[in-house]
Amino acid sequence: MTTNWHMVTSTTDVAETDHMTQPKMDQTTEERRKGVRRTVTILVLIVAAFFLVSFVQIVLMK
Amino acid sequence: MTSGGIRRSFTAAATLALASFGSVVHAAPGPWQLNMERGASTWSQVPYHLNNISLAVCTVIGILVFGAMFIAMFRFRKSRGAVAEKWSHNTMVEVVWTTIPVIILVVLAYLATGGLTSWADTTGSQMTVKVTGFQWKWRYDYVDYMGKSIDKVSFMSKLDSQSNQTRQLDSGMDPYAVKVGDESTYLLDVDKPLVVPVDTKIRFVITSGDVIHSWWVPATGWKIDAIPGIINAAWANFQTPGTYRGQCAELCGQDHGFMPIVVVVKSKADFATWLAGQEAQSAAPAAPAGASTAAAPQSAQVATVPVSGKQG
Amino acid sequence: MSYAATHDQHDDHHGAPKGFFQRWCMSTNHKDIGTLYLIFALTMFFIGGSFAMLIRAELFKPGLQLMQPYFFNQLTTMHALVMIFGAIMPAFVGLGNWMIPLMVGAPDMALPRMNNLSFWILPFAFVLLLSTLFLPGGGPAGGWTMYPPLSLQSDSLAYVVFAVHLMGISSIMGAINIIATILNMRAPGMDLLKMPVFVWSWLITAFLLIAVMPVLAGAVTMLLTDKYFGTNFFNPGGGGDPVLYQHIFWFFGHPEVYIMILPAFGIISEIVPTFARKPIFGYKAMVFAIACIAFLSFIVWAHHMFAVGLPLGAEIFFMYATMLISVPTGVKVFNWVATMWGGSMTFETPMLFAIAFIILFTIGGFSGLMLALVPADFQYHDTYFVVAHFHYVLVTGALFAIIAAAYYWMPKWTGNMYNEFWGKVHFWNSVIWVNVLFFPQHFLGLAGMPRRIPDYNVAFANFNMISSIGGFLFGASQLIFLGVLIHCAFFSKKKATDRVWEGAKGLEWTVPSPAPHHTFEMPPVIHDDELAHGHVND
């Protein structure tokens, strides 16, 4: 029971384990980190823009 | 209790369905009323018919879709040995059930647009009444009638005292006992109703002295918000003399539920007499009614000063 | 919830932390935070529900029996705020937290620490909001829409505004996290168009959240400065305009409505194929329909304002745009029916709730179409017809989908099967009483009963009494739900298999039940036939 989760990941595909070597994993992690950073930056900008737009809307419509 | 209530509702639905969906004109809501009222103005037919048509369209679509669903649930049960098929696409069917709703919508939109355009046209009105909402009463100013301006006919209209006593918490009074003639008028009666003539295109200009209210008499077929700083306009042309009841329809504070609207529609001759009486009353400076109607709006406005002070 | 499987695991890196505080308050684990969200939502559901019971009790018969009108207004306002921001939205975020990483094969959310923060803001926001009920002057009583000038008369405005700010920050962070997870953390091979529909629905919902929560924040900030700092954004006396608030509010408010229903569409699109044992019909159409609805939600806001006196052209535009929404929504309903057609169906509790969702949500959609017709809306607006409409889409829509999801994934979360008999008892009670509760409200609205009134003419007495009886029994039925949940989490002896449901497809069913504390630390390999919607290229 305790090792179930290991079994899940290891039973997926034996041939696939070759790709899961350490450098490959680090590379994936690094790519993900960059991707997340980029996504978050863009989203935060959108948030700020919409917050300001609600005020601009008031000014424009008056 | 429950089953009794449900059984009664079924019997009532059966007996009243015809009446409710038929052509009965309600001046006020009736018990077990199921459908929208037809209204009493020339325009009020529009929402009534749109309501019935769209309800019918939805019912037919509902029967088809839910019917298909129930057939599927019956035929394709695992317990009946149904074996799942593999398909997950059918372009033809998908195009059909996207197109048909579009066609139905175009028809509905056509009907609604026509009705809306006639509603928005307030030109050619023969009378103007200014309606002002206050927490929690209405003020009516008669502006002009048949091209003549009306001088100083204005009054406040608020919940009648019998309803007002009955509606107090723990009043111990029976809401069913509040009646005018045979009609139960609990929370739907006022001390001084708006009086208008029949067969006259009346322009209502509507605004508010404090918060947002909404002036709604179902017999006119519309409601429109009374907003401070903004004047809205709408029109009604009542076809039958009678008493038509409505309520404030926009949350406006603690007594939002207690500021009804009553419109009494009189024949043109009766209205002329009534109007002359009102004008004479306000012309005589010592007349008590005139003094109280003139004072009331002022005090109401004074009462709103702290509110606007807070906002500012 | 118990994680028996992970408790006796001594490897610190892989097990859950042992201390209660460490495990729950300092959690960065998407499953634990998901659980926290769901428990929070359930708590708020019962608090908001108790407000609803009080409302229905006062409306049981004409005349005021229990409370002053002002307190009644506080109840209607709080009921809405608590149910929308406290129950429905956190429940969907909780489901998203739990299931999205499992469904896309990610080890966790992209930003686990922020995930913790976005949950733990919520209890403080709601303590702030609910505390107003015990303060002098009482809670907010101007409706959840907080229309000025009325909302400016309330003494608790500042509390409500800050609570809304906190909820907004929480939602925005949650949404950023979900988008970042879905866009960056998918397992190799999990292409965007292979994702489960639930994940798609959350991706689109998260974008809606990002776009509209800041707008709400802006609107309530202006309320705050109008009341306390002498600005005149909405004060006509100072050149402001109360209607502008409504435009800004509903620019938030309408997408908000879809924020509460799109994830429900996703859930139903998971459950129906599982129990029909047939791939979802028209996967791409389903995704496209969700995207369409989301886009349209930005250009229909003024249909909440048909009675404020908009220009004729604006009313016509917003009417047409609103009617258009029924096309993609119709496509979704037809596709669910087509998914059932030719399937091999069984009717476990999640499927029963899903079917009830499809039927009753569609009824809510029908009344929505009727409300879109401006002339008819002049009569319907602000009556019980509207109340019936949005409770059909939110209670039998959003809430039923959440309940269906809870039954559907409960075995995966706890490792135990819930009690099917009591699940069905809960279903039949819910579905019957919810209709007794809300269907008569259509009639009340058509007969002319305005909403948000504590007392009414005797003509409305019959249907109000029926509605109240339905309300009490629907409320009581949810105690069965609570019982089933507690039994399933702590007492059920029936262990769930990994697959749980015979027809279940998707990555979440490849991990053990209960799902261990950490999953997919190594990205799984995706087999297309493992996915719920079959082969996309067919």
Tens digit of pLDDT for each residue in C194-242?
899 999 999 999 999 999 999 999 999 999 999 999 888 899 888 889 9
The reported pLDDT for the residue numbered C134 is 93
Q: Could you give phi then psi for residue B206, rounded to 5 degrees?
A: -125, 130
Residues of A in contact with C14 (CB under 8 A): 5
Crossing angle of the two packed helices C157-184 and A22-61, in degrees rounded to 10: 140
How many domains, chain C? 1
ipTM of the complex: 0.89
The reported pLDDT for the residue numbered B19 is 44
Residue C456 DSSP class = -
Residues of C in contact with B91 (CB under 8 A): none
With H, G, I as helix, E, B as strand and everything else as coil, classify residue C258: helix
Do the two chains B and A touch, given a threshold of 8 Å on CB pairs and at least 3 pairs?
A: no
With H, G, I as helix, E, B as strand and everything else as coil, classify residue B78: helix
- Is the distance from CB of C125 to CB of C90 less than 8 angstroms? no
How many CA atoms does the CB half-sphere of B101 hold within 13 Å?
24
C47-58 mean pLDDT: 96
A20-29 mean pLDDT: 64
Extents of the domains making up chain A: 25-62
> d(Cα B51, Cα C8) in Å, to the nearest integer?
63
C211, C217, C219: which is closest to C259 by C-alpha? C211
**Peptide bond between residue B136 and the one before it cis (omega within 30 degrees of 0):** yes
The reported pLDDT for the residue numbered A1 is 38
Domain containing residue C308 = 33-530
Q: How high does pLDDT run on average in chain A?
A: 67
**Residue C537 included in any domain:** no
B113-119 mean pLDDT: 93
Alpha-carbon gap: C83 to the closest alpha carbon of chain B (Å): 20
- Please say if the pLDDT value at position C18 is more than 70: yes
- pLDDT band for A24, please (50, 70, 90 cuts): low
Answer with the residue of higher pLDDT: C317 or A62.
Answer: C317
Any idea which architecture B127-301 has in CATH? Sandwich (2.60)
Q: How high does pLDDT run on average in chain C?
A: 92
The reported pLDDT for the residue numbered C14 is 60
Q: Indicate the pTM of the whole model.
A: 0.89
Any idea which architecture B36-120 has in CATH? Orthogonal Bundle (1.10)
Tell me how far the alpha carbon of residue C11 is from its chain's centroid: 37
Alpha-carbon gap: A26 to the closest alpha carbon of chain C (Å): 12
The CATH number of the domain holding residue C445 is 1.20.210.10
**Residue C11 included in any domain:** no
The reported pLDDT for the residue numbered B21 is 44
The reported pLDDT for the residue numbered C101 is 95
- Please say if the pLDDT value at position C300 is more than 80: yes
Q: Which helix (H) or strand (E) holds B184?
A: strand B183-184
- pLDDT band for C528, please (50, 70, 90 cuts): confident
What proportion of chain C, given as a percentage, has pLDDT over 70?
96
> Which of A31-35, B232-236, C377-381, C490-494 shows the lowest mean pLDDT across its residues?
A31-35
**Residue C8 included in any domain:** no
The reported pLDDT for the residue numbered C229 is 93
* Angle, alpha carbons B257-B261-B266 (nearest 5°): 160
C194-to-B91, C87, C292, C359, C529 alpha-carbon distances in Å = 20, 30, 19, 28, 11
Residue B140 DSSP class = E
Interface of C with A (CB under 8 A): 5-6, 8-9, 14, 110-111, 172, 175-176, 179-180, 183-185, 210-215, 217-219, 222, 233, 239-241, 244, 247-248, 251, 510-512, 516, 518-525
The reported pLDDT for the residue numbered A56 is 78
**Peptide bond between residue C149 and the one before it cis (omega within 30 degrees of 0):** yes
C482-495 mean pLDDT: 94
> Which of B74-88, B114-128, B297-311, C245-259 shows the lowest mean pLDDT across its residues?
B297-311
The reported pLDDT for the residue numbered B303 is 38
- CB count within 10 Å of CB C7 equals 13
The reported pLDDT for the residue numbered C33 is 96
The reported pLDDT for the residue numbered B89 is 81
| Per-residue pLDDT tens over the stretch B140-169 | 999 999 888 887 899 999 999 999 999 999
Judge whether B94 is closer than 8 Å to chain C, CB to CB.
Answer: yes
